Amino acid sequence: MTKTYQKNQPETIQQMFGSIAKQYDRTNAILSFNLHRYWNKKLVQSVINKNRSIQQYLDLCCGTGEIAYTFLKHTKHQTEAFLLDFCEEMLDCARSKADSVSASPHQLQYIQGDAQQIPLPSSSVDAVTVAYGIRNVKSPKACVEDVYRVLRPGGVFAILELTQPRSTIMQFGHRLYLRTVLPVVGKMTAANKEAYEYLSTSIQAFIPPETLENYLIEAGFEQTHRHPMTGGIATIVSGSKPL
């Protein structure tokens, strides 16, 4: 029976990520030709460059912890890091990697929760990231608004998302890759073709970076910025909460 994954039915997305959690890192590396490591570092650098005294840090839709652990590796401050995901299997993978990535001396907290209703107090963190996850949130706008709530004045929010390139030639190649290569490789490496068919569709259907940046502006963020990478197949959108 063919599985159907829809982000307006969050429980189906939760099940989907649970089914691919253990193969997620390996599959991402294959599908992105390891470009995701470059994008991840750029995301982390964009946050650290905007705020060099981060003590409390939140990574939403943290998955297996790749972004959070990259951040902790590069920060020079002892940090309390909150890793939030709504999929327990993903959090289990993140926990299992903590020792191998030398997360010490940082404090880590793993939270199973909703990125639209973050279970943290208002004005409690200095920086928030979300990578490859906001397009799977039922209401990205609600997520942005709640991030604004939990950030302290001067705090930084940075989003890394897979996006559609602007070049006509790249658009053609990108669509071909998403519709043919991605589902097949996903089936071979993660044994769940339907999951990667959903991920392919979600990239093509997601709002453009300009709209995402407008959500930040409407929520109250200042100094917003869009940074397309690799011809626009990935984009960082960032902003700061006013002092």
Average pLDDT over residues 10-19: 86
Task: Collapse the DSSP code of 190 into the 3-class scheme (helix H, G, I; strand E, B; otherwise coil) and give the result.
Answer: helix
What pLDDT band is residue 102 in, cutting at 50, 70 and 90?
Answer: low
Q: What phi-psi label fits residue 158: left (phi over 0), alpha (psi between -120 and 50 degrees) or beta?
A: beta
Residue 8 makes CB contacts below 8 A (sequence gap 6+) with: 138
For 159-204, the pLDDT digits (tens) are: 999 999 988 888 888 888 888 887 777 667 666 778 778 888 898 8
User: On the CB side of 192, how many CA atoms lie within 13 Å of its CA?
Assistant: 20
Residue 202 in tokens? 């979600």
Task: Collapse the DSSP code of 101 into the 3-class scheme (helix H, G, I; strand E, B; otherwise coil) and give the result.
Answer: coil
At residue 63, the pLDDT reads 96
Q: Which residue has the higher pLDDT, 13 or 57?
A: 57
pLDDT at 5 over 80: no
Residue 58 in tokens? 């939140």
Average pLDDT over residues 124-139: 97
Q: Which residue has the higher pLDDT, 190 or 75?
A: 75
What pLDDT band is residue 3 in, cutting at 50, 70 and 90?
Answer: low
Q: State how far the Cα of 91 lies from the Cα of 51, in Å rounded to an integer.
A: 27
Q: What CATH class has 10-240? A: alpha beta
pLDDT at 26 over 80: yes
Average pLDDT over residues 196-223: 93
For 225-239, the pLDDT digits (tens) are: 999 999 999 999 999
Tell the residue number behind the tokens 């939140």, with chain if given. Answer: 58
Average pLDDT over residues 33-59: 94
Indicate the domain borders of the chain. 10-240
pLDDT at 40 over 80: yes
Average pLDDT over residues 80-105: 88
Whether residue 201 contacts residue 182, with contact meaning beta carbons closer than 8 Å, is answered with no
Percent of the chain with pLDDT strictly greater than 90: 64
Which pairing describes strands 234-240 and 222-229: parallel, antiparallel, or unpaired? antiparallel
pLDDT at 1 over 50: no
pLDDT at 119 over 90: yes
Tell the residue number behind the tokens 């002892």, with chain if given. Answer: 78
